[in-house]
Amino acid sequence: MTMKRTVAFLTALLLAPLLALHAAEARPAVAKPTKPPLTPADITQLPEGTGHLDLYLLIGQSNMKGRGFMPEEPARDPRIAMMHLKNDRWYVARHPLHLSGDPQTFAGADNAGVGPGLSFAQTLAAQDSTARIGLIPCAVGGTQIARWQKGAGLYEEAIRRTKLALEQTKGTKATLRGVLWLQGEADSKADRVKVYAEKLNALVDALRADLGQPALPFVACTIGEMRTEGRGGEKQAINALLLDLPNHRPHTACVDARDLKSSIGDNVHYDTAAQTEIGKRFAASLQKLTR
């Protein structure tokens, strides 16, 4: 080996750890493994001290699903339950709400992490000790609003799961109290922005018709404006349409989260702190609609 090649080899050898560290820092953070196993919850019975069950449907794409870092210890409040995304069974709610893996071994789990749903429920539960809260997670990452239109697969699955939850809880004074919507990144392109408001209005109308609640509360949330280059203008346009929703459909609201700038490292997905705050804002907006 020549001296020149030897120097190049040694240089590459010394730089390799630094390059690997830089690459690791550049990659978006992922959620930690989720353990221990989920705790089953009997959704047909109300825990002692509670007198009614409030159900909420969670729909949208990856920021509703959640990508924030997992807490070291899972929540264990028996008053808050979640319907498993894959088996339709109920468990004590904890992160990730949109767990798609086996509830005991977590085999098959994807990158779901902390989203806004649990802090939303915890905020409501803290303000009403008589309420049990049931969360119906249905969000799917990367999805356009077209996949949430009546007749499309994701919409029909959300309707099926919601109706099933209502059927399962007939004897518990259960009521569907609202829908939470966090979506828009996949539609932040010029051609999709043009039809977004029409599709959003259609989604609200269809949900209310199919679930038999003409005044069903629907609370949206703005998408992140963490990155100004690229499709920043289209994201701002989507947010303007989301914020304008209450002017077109009654009993709707939009959480303004544009001030939240912290992500998991990709300038797209909110981190745990931001997701927790969004959940609290969802709860405050929902309460204003139902007073």
pLDDT per residue as tens, the chain (291 positions) = 455 555 454 444 444 444 444 443 344 444 555 568 999 999 999 999 999 999 999 999 999 999 999 888 888 999 999 999 999 999 999 999 999 888 988 887 777 899 999 999 999 999 999 999 999 999 999 999 999 999 999 999 999 999 999 999 998 889 999 999 999 999 999 999 999 999 999 999 999 999 999 999 999 999 998 876 655 689 999 999 999 999 999 999 999 999 999 999 888 999 999 999 999 999 999 999 987
Q: What pLDDT shows up at residue 217?
A: 98
Q: Does residue 63 fall inside a structural domain?
A: yes
Domain of residue 168, CATH code: 3.40.50.1110
How many angstroms separate the CA atoms of 191 and 237, rounded? 12
Stated pTM of the model: 0.88
The reply to whether 46 falls in a domain is no
Q: Per the domain annotation, does 243 fall within a domain?
A: yes
Contacts of 60 (CB under 8 A, 6+ apart): 139, 143, 148, 180, 181, 182, 183
* Per-residue model confidence (pLDDT) at position 34: 55
Residue 280 lies in a domain: yes
Cα(216)–Cα(81) distance, rounded to whole angstroms?
21
Question: Is 7 inside any structural domain?
Answer: no
* Any domain includes 168: yes
Total count of domains within the chain: 1
Q: Domain span at residue 193?
A: 52-290
